[in-house]
Homo-oligomer: A and B are copies of this chain.
Amino acid sequence: MVNLRLTPDEVATERNVILEERRSRVDNNPTALLDEQMNAALYLSHPYRIPVIGWASEMAGLSREDALRFYNHFYAPNNAILVVAGDVTPQEVKELAEKTYGKIPANSDVKQRMRVHEPPHLAERRLVLKHPRAGNASFHRYYMVPSYSTAEPGKAEALDLLAKILADGATSRLYKKLVVEEKVSATSGGSYSGSGLDSGTFSIYAVANEGANLEKVEALADAVLEDIRENGVTEAELERAKKSLRASYIYNSDSQESLARRYGWGLVVGRSISDVENWPEAISKVTNDDLKKAAREFLDDRRSVTGWLEPESPDGGSGSAEKPSVPSRS
C-alpha cells in the first residue's frame, strides 16, 4: 500500500503491455470497438463514457509521474477496504490488520470526490459500425438505468430479474422470439450491470442469421420489450428467474474469491453488509408489477443507444451493394 518502487523501465514495459492488451482485446475485436463507441454515446457527461482501459492516445502518454501521483493519492488505509476470505476469525484478521496496515498513516488529501451528474437524456442515439471482420451483423441496445447504489429499494433487483427473463439463455423472451420462433437470429443475450456507483447499464443484443436483416431483428426485439412493458411476465417466468438468481448466489458462495468480491464490491459502492447478505431475500420480494414498472420506467429509449455492427468488404464498401440508408418512417 505504500513505498512502491517504480522504475522508468518498468513503466515503459508496462505501458507497452497495456497498449498491446488494448490492441488485442479491443482494437482487434469489432464487438469491443462497438461497445466503446456505444458507451461513449450513452453518457453525455459522465466519465463512465471513458473505457476502463483508456483511449490509446491517452494511454501512450501516461508517465511514471502520472502513475505515482495516482498511487500516492489513492492508496491509503482511509481509502481502502480489506476483505479476507478463508479459515480465519474476525479477531485474528483485526489484529493482523492493525499490526500491518494499521501502521500506515491516513492520507488527509483523500476527500469525498465530486460526482458528475448526468444531464437529461432527451434523444435516443444510434450508431452503425462497419467492420471487415464483423461476422454476422448484430444488433445491440444499451439503456442507462439506476445501479444498486442509486436505485430506490427493490428497483435494481427488478432490473436483475428483468434481464434474466428477457435476455438470459435459451428460455429467455428474446431467444424464444428471435431465435426459435422467427429464426432471424443465431443467438441473443443481455444483462444488467448494477455495480456502478453513479448508474447502471441494461443491455440486450442479437446476432442476425445469415441473410436476415437488422431492421427486422431490432423490430422484433422492440416488440418483445414492448410486450413486457405492457403485460409484464408470467408468474412461472418470475419464479424461475428468482430461483436462478438465488441459486447463483448460493453457488458463488462456494468460492472464496467470489465471496470476497461480493462483500468488497458492496462496501466500495456504499452498500452495507446486511444489504449484501439480504440480496436473495430482496430478490424474492419483487413482484410482477414491480417488473412491469421497472420496464416502463427504465427501458426508456431516450436514455438508450442502439448499435448495429455490420460487415464491410475489405475495399471499404458495405457488405451489401447498397449505400447505408437512412432511417425509414415506414
Contact = CB atoms under 8 A, between A and B. Distances in A.
Contacts of A224: none
A146 interface: no
Given A45-B40, A327-B325, A127 B123 contact: yes
A119 B329 contact: no
Interface stretch (A50-58, A163-171, A236-244): A50-58
Nearest to A129: B123
A4 interface: no
A307 interface: yes
A125 interface: yes
A213 interface: yes
Contacts of A50: 45
When all copies of this chain in the complex are counted, the total is 2
A36 B122 CA distance: 10
A61 to B, nearest CB: 8
A187 to B, nearest CB: 20
Contacts of A40: 44-45, 119
Interface stretch (A192-200, A214-222, A248-256): A214-222
Given A122-B129, A128-B124, A215 B45 contact: no
A151 interface: no
Q: In terms of DSSP, what is the predominant structure of the interface of chain A?
A: mixed
Nearest to A51: B119
Given A44-B49, A50-B45, A55-B45, A122 B37 contact: yes
Given A125-B41, A218-B326, A117 B33 contact: no
Contacts of A122: 33, 37, 129, 131
A215 B122 CA distance: 21
Contacts of A44: 37, 40-41, 49, 55
A306 B306 CA distance: 14
Contacts of A329: 213-215, 320, 322, 325
Nearest to A27: B120
A37 B303 CA distance: 12
Contacts of A128: 123-124, 327
A34 interface: yes
Interface in A110-164: 116-117, 119, 121-131
Contact of A123 (B37, B45, B328): B37
B123 A125 contact: no
A13 interface: no
Interface in A305-330: 306-308, 320, 322, 324-330
Given A45-B55, A122-B37, A125-B41, A215 B320 contact: no
A112 B41 CA distance: 29
16 contacts: A37-B123, A40-B44, A44-B49, A55-B119, A58-B116, A122-B131, A124-B127, A124-B128, A125-B127, A126-B126, A213-B329, A215-B326, A308-B327, A322-B329, A324-B327, A325-B327
